[in-house]
Chain A
């Protein structure tokens, strides 16, 4: 079974721009979560989607948004990029939610200049 895939793997953007990251979960998994990893803050939860519905959201500003499609693929968008948004963005999938093992993709490394 193919693992979680994320595109693109690397991205360089300028302050003020917006960016969209994509995640394809493991086949059959309906829950997709997004996390931000930075050296200072570690792994921080962004949001979780299940059957196209956002079930939980972390403490991030409204510039961070996401969505899930009917095939369980998910996208996250960051608008008006700031230097502090530079991070590794990780997507994870699980069959139904977090009280099962979550499987992570390789991440998208976003650099904001």
Chain B
């Protein structure tokens, strides 16, 4: 039972354009959501998070949107840069659960 799903295994975007990565979840108890970026042979790097009391959080080029009614979140990267090429994971947690549930990841490739 996959509670967090990233339905796009890969995404290719031109440099300078917007990258939109999507994530769906099924567990209504999730109240905190995070996005991580991962390069090969490295651990995931935290990018941005959002609490369920918000619907948007912005940090520089990265913005996360949360639609609780649709159980959907997305990560927008504007403008996309070559260094953004990596695998992106969304993760969710439920208060008190003390664990993160990860999606399967989306490989983002930024083309020059």
Contact = CB atoms under 8 A, between A and B. Distances in A.
Contacts of B93: 98-99
A101 B34 CA distance: 8
Interface stretch (B14-22, B40-48, B61-69, B78-86): B40-48
A102 to B, nearest CB: 6
Interface residues of A, number: 26
Contacts of A109: 41
Given A56-B97, A56-B99, A104-B45, 11 more contacts: A35-B100, A42-B102, A50-B98, A92-B100, A98-B93, A98-B99, A98-B100, A99-B32, A102-B34, A104-B44, A107-B42
B98 A42 contact: no
Contacts of A103: 46
A4 interface: yes
Contact of B103 (A42, A58, A102, A105): A42
